[in-house]
Amino acid sequence: MTLPKKSLREILPELDGLMILAMVLLFLLGLVSIYSASQGATRMGQYYALRQTIWGGLSLAAFLVTVRIGYEEIYRWSHFVYGAVALLLLTVLLVGYSAKGAQSWINLGFFRLQPAELGKIALAVVLSRVAVVHGPHDLRGLTICLAVTAGIALPVMLQPDLGTVIVYAVMTFAALHVARAPRKYLFSLVGLALISLPLGWTFMKEYQRQRLLVFLDPYVDPLGAGYNVIQSRIAVGSGGIWGKGFLEGTQSRLHFLPESHTDFVFSVFAEEFGFAGTVVVLFLYSLLIWRILSTALATKDIRAKVMVSMVACWVWFQLFEVMAMSVGLAPVTGIPMPLFSYGGSALLSVSVGLALVQSVHVASRKSYV
Amino acid sequence: MNREINRRVEMDFRLSLLRWGLLLTLLLLGGAIFSFQVFRFDRYLQLAVQNRLRTLQVPAQRGRLFDTHGAPLALNVRTFDLKGYPLYLRREGVLENLEGLLGRHGIPLDADQLAEAVDRQYWAPFRAVTVVSNLTLAQVAGLVTDPDFSPQLFPYPVWRRVYPAGPLAAHVVGYVGEISREELDARRDRGYQGGDLIGKMGIEAVYEERLRGKNGEEAIEVDARGRRLRRLDYRPQEAGEDLFLTLDLGAQRLAAEMLADRRGGIVALDVATGAVRVLYSSPSFDTNPLSWGMAPGEWQAIIEAPERPMMNRTIAGAYPPASTFKAVVALAALGEKVITPNTTIFCSRTFKLGNRTFHCLRAHGTENVVEALRDSCNVFFYQVGLRTGIDLLSSWASLLGMGRPTGIDLLGEASGNVAGPEWKMARFQESWYQGDTVNYSIGQGFLLATPLQMAVVYAAIANGGYRVMPFLDESSPPPKENLHIEEAVLRPVVKGLENVVATGTGRQAGTFGVSLAGKTGTAQNYHGADHAWFVGYGPRENPRYAVAVLVEAGEKGSATAAPIGGRLLAYLIDHDGDQSR
């Protein structure tokens, strides 16, 4: 197994080109939308777009480093990765910087880091390994798998960052599914989640309840949480087939659309580029997810199959949630649209996640040579 | 091996299932968005074009301020703002017409000023901005009944800040004013907007976050002419927190009367806690016109006045502490065992160091530390200071709280200066001479202290060696620090300070019917007449309050400052029981 390591120059031509293309295009479309949104929202010109570009550069570096190290080497260090992220999450609970009611940031001077995003990487690496070693075929294996998730999800739940916890849950479910957990376990878990919904209600903060109520009927509170949903719907709907054109979206430029460079960035995009733009974005994400899962099918390493499918579900769930939210088909959460929304930690971690997938791709090609 | 392959086949089956499942959901999502963007396009475009939603800020009632007995220091009164939407105000000719209308009603604002106000507060075209503020009910009635009054404008009730105590507590309470561009940039993520009021000075600035409350918001639907049709939603304002200050307005008034038109500062502290009872700086200024908005010219006049009324002399004025510092020298010398209470020094009115001669007021003869404090004998402290040495003197001064801000909850506190040789080298590139230590020992030379710092030093002598942190917000008394000064070190100093008032230079402080202790001082002023100091505490038996009085150009501490300090302490002690609200 210990073949001499490939240099970056040898690795680069072996990467999955289509996947890279989809990633780059999605990032660029996101950048265009962030620019448009921040022009309207804060009159800060290119401020957010510039920051996102810097984060893009950092993410590219992280991508290359991860690909160079290779996923097999990272598996060897997976326990340290898990421990480090868990430690960061605890740190954030103790000394974190809070924004919008949740304590989820670590201040790094110019930038702030959100360890919950790194948790997704740690979860993919560690859970995929654990799920293969202790397969979730019996209650013992299942418990061990769920405990791995809980170690990361609990501190995040306490921040509280419910949106990210749901992403972890989706990733865990994907891991159990691919690691051949019996159907009765999978159905029980879904059942359990449904039963615990009313229980979750009592644990929710007021603003979270409000968001759920508003999801059921946005006109309950048109100025508060419902305002966003109504205005976002108007933005998307008024985009029509071809959209209003770049920087012409009246909803965001006139400030009817709040949080327009983060939570509602897709609404800005859909207003300005219409259904045609929506189709392009959906196609790019479909391509991305298709290529990720192709990698999972191609590799012989069963740990990697589980890990890669977890990354696929991470990307899928977040894009689905944001796009559905923009037309009021899903409740408002703060989770970002992968590669597209403004937010450095999210961009960085999804880049590392996709770099792991690329590394699996490279390794699986190697075995045929 | 076979099992391994079976596992992989089963996994790949589940992976394909997942792949097609995910793609199907994305297809469905595309269909849903299609129905919004294509089927319902007309309806949403309609909604976007004629967004008839308008929003208004409902200003929060700022927290009120009271003195320790409940006397009001800052309140809010109802006035009216004339508001409008930028959607309308930015149309051609609107502001020019408005200029004419306002002119006819005696409000002199030209179109350029109005345009600037609109730009400053602009957030969104549909969010109302204030065009004219502070209108009385009569002015509003006159305006709205004018046939030229546009229905696009409307009066809106708001709160204005008033300061019933005015100049009496100006430096403590501070004032509010319209947020500046720099302040707005610094607080971008804390919900401030152009046109908001913000604390600019004093308590108003320090406790801005607690006082400001939370603005409410009103969403209304308007007709095509901009007239309000109905309220869609309403989030009430949340009033800010009311604060009770430790200040005693009665004592504050007495302090102001005694200083009258002299320049200076007076502080009084509770020696046990550091609660500030009096903090008055003279000359003062009226904060009311500042918070209502004044013309730039009037503002300039206040800033540039030669007597500098905006400067808070109690915390930002650094003066040589003069003889009031001798108590610190005595503590250092006794604490470091350089002298004992029985050590005596002979004063022949002069003290020679090399070829320099330092003077005393008169020939005191043989004196110990208690007598030297009473008579304020310079020669005694010259020699004791030299024996103790500059390093120990400055470290005791620091220990007692000099040379750095006391930490009071006000902005703009000066550090003063207790620095020794390193500081002099850095500042003047000169080494420290014995003569510098001699000057230092009687509180002159490079030594500087604020009245508040001296009050903290004397509070520590009065309370048995605790350094208090002065505070004004009654709800959060800060902790005090035990300096571990031995009783045997404090006792001679206390005795000396008691004798100062009983029979020494501070006799004039002791004529108000209560027994006090303290020290006078006369600080050299190279720009004019000397500054007069008195720092002391009382009652002697069970000290409750410490005061520091500084009168600029007051000439003699014993004649000018001591009676003020004595009378203020007597007032505080006599009114000690009046804690009821």
For the residues B247-262, what does the mean pLDDT come to? 94
Please tell me whether residues B220 and B275 are part of one structural domain: no
A95 φ, ψ (degrees, to nearest 5) = -125, 15
Please tell me whether residues B255 and B148 are part of one structural domain: no
Residue B48 lies in a domain: no
What are the pLDDT digits (tens) for B299-329? 788 778 888 889 999 999 999 999 999 999 9
- Which of B:206-235 have CB within 8 Å of A? 217, 219, 232-235
With CA atoms as reference, the chain A residue closest to B49 would be: A250
Q: Would you place residue A218 in the very low, low, confident or very high pLDDT band (cuts 50, 70, 90)?
A: low
Asked if A297 and B12 come within 8 Å (Cβ–Cβ), the reply is yes
Please tell me whether residues B170 and B268 are part of one structural domain: no
Contact list in B for residue A275 (CB cut-off 8 A) is 33-34, 37-38
Rounded to an integer, what distance in angstroms lies between the CA atom of residue B14 and that of residue A303? Answer: 14
Closest CA–CA distance from residue A299 to any residue of chain B (Å): 10
Residue B10 lies in a domain: no
* B5 Cβ neighbours under 8 A, 6+ residues apart: none
Please tell me whether residues B83 and B174 are part of one structural domain: yes
- Which of A:340-369 have CB within 8 Å of B? none
B20 touches chain A (CB under 8 A): no
Please tell me whether residues B235 and B353 are part of one structural domain: no
Asked if A237 and B18 come within 8 Å (Cβ–Cβ), the reply is no
ipTM above 0.85, yes or no: yes
Name the residue facing A251 among B7, B37, B48 (closest C-beta). Answer: B48
Please tell me whether residues B434 and B488 are part of one structural domain: yes
Q: Residue B196's pLDDT is what?
A: 84
Given a contact cutoff of 8 angstroms between Cβ atoms, the answer to whether B534 and B565 are in contact is yes
Residue B115, helix vs strand vs coil: helix
Asked if A240 and B232 come within 8 Å (Cβ–Cβ), the reply is no
Name the residue facing A302 among B7, B33, B36 (closest C-beta). Answer: B7
What are the pLDDT digits (tens) for B287-298? 888 877 666 677
Rounded to an integer, what distance in angstroms lies between the CA atom of residue B469 and that of residue B277? Answer: 13
Q: What is the CATH number of the domain that holds B359?
A: 3.40.710.10
Q: Residue B124's pLDDT is what?
A: 66
Please tell me whether residues B321 and B463 are part of one structural domain: yes
Residue B31 lies in a domain: no
Kindly report the CA angle at B522 between B518 and B525, in degrees rounded to 5?
150
What are the pLDDT digits (tens) for B184-193? 878 766 778 7
Given a contact cutoff of 8 angstroms between Cβ atoms, the answer to whether B437 and B385 are in contact is yes
My answer on whether omega of the bond before B167 falls inside 30° of 0, hence cis, is no
Split into its structural domains, chain B has a count of 2
Q: Residue A18's pLDDT is what?
A: 95
Please tell me whether residues B315 and B221 are part of one structural domain: no
Please tell me whether residues B329 and B445 are part of one structural domain: yes
A47 touches chain B (CB under 8 A): no
Residue B279 lies in a domain: yes
What are the pLDDT digits (tens) for B350-408? 999 888 899 898 899 999 999 999 999 999 999 999 999 999 999 999 999 999 999 99
Rounded to an integer, what distance in angstroms lies between the CA atom of residue B508 and that of residue B515? Answer: 12
Q: What is the CATH number of the domain that holds B113?
A: 3.90.1310.10
Domain extents in chain A:
22-366
Please tell me whether residues B203 and B279 are part of one structural domain: no
Of B229, B244, B259, the domain-final residue: B244
Q: Is B443 left (phi over 0), alpha (psi -120 to 50) or beta?
A: left
Asked if A309 and B15 come within 8 Å (Cβ–Cβ), the reply is yes
Residue B21 lies in a domain: no
Rounded to an integer, what distance in angstroms lies between the CA atom of residue B500 and that of residue B508? Answer: 10
Note down the domain range covering B542. 249-303+311-574
Residue B11 lies in a domain: no
Q: Residue A369's pLDDT is what?
A: 43
Name the residue facing A278 among B19, B33, B127 (closest C-beta). Answer: B33
A274 touches chain B (CB under 8 A): yes
Please tell me whether residues B326 and B459 are part of one structural domain: yes
Q: Would you place residue B93 in the very low, low, confident or very high pLDDT band (cuts 50, 70, 90)?
A: confident
Residue B161, helix vs strand vs coil: strand
- Which of A:56-95 have CB within 8 Å of B? none
With CA atoms as reference, the chain A residue closest to B56 would be: A223
Which of B286, B386, B295 lies closest to B338 in space, CA to CA?
Answer: B386
DSSP H helical ranges for B248-336? 249-259, 288-292, 296-304, 313-316, 326-335
Closest CA–CA distance from residue B153 to any residue of chain A (Å): 21
Residue B18 lies in a domain: no
Which of B198, B203, B94, B201 lies closest to B153 in space, CA to CA?
Answer: B94
Please tell me whether residues B222 and B256 are part of one structural domain: no
Q: Which two tokens stand for residue B7?
A: 């596992």
A224 touches chain B (CB under 8 A): yes
Residue B3, helix vs strand vs coil: helix
Residue B27 lies in a domain: no
As a whole number, the mean pLDDT across chain B is 88
What are the pLDDT digits (tens) for B193-230? 777 889 999 999 999 999 999 888 787 777 666 677 77
Share of chain A above pLDDT 70, in %: 82
Rounded to an integer, what distance in angstroms lies between the CA atom of residue A111 and that of residue A262? Answer: 16
Tokens 């108007």, residue? Answer: A234
Q: SS3 string of chain A?
A: CCCCCCCHHHHHHHCCHHHHHHHHHHHHHHHHHHHHHHHHHCCCCCHHHHHHHHHHHHHHHHHHHHHHHCHHHHHHCHHHHHHHHHHHHHHHHHHCEEECCEEEEEEECCEEECHHHHHHHHHHHHHHHHHHHCCCCCHHHHHHHHHHHHHHHHHHHHCCCHHHHHHHHHHHHHHHHHCCCCHHHHHHHHHHHHHHHHHHHHHCCHHHHHHHHHHHCHHHCCCCHHHHHHHHHHHHHCCCCCCCCCCCCHHHHCCCCCCCCCCCHHHHHHHHHHHHHHHHHHHHHHHHHHHHHHHHHHCCCHHHHHHHHHHHHHHHHHHHHHHHHHCCCCCCCCCCCCCCCCCHHHHHHHHHHHHHHHHHHHHHHHCCC
Name the residue facing B37 among A179, A236, A250 (closest C-beta). Answer: A236
Q: Would you place residue A221 in the very low, low, confident or very high pLDDT band (cuts 50, 70, 90)?
A: low
DSSP H helical ranges for B181-324? 181-186, 202-206, 208-211, 249-259, 288-292, 296-304, 313-316
Of B221, B244, B267, the domain-final residue: B244
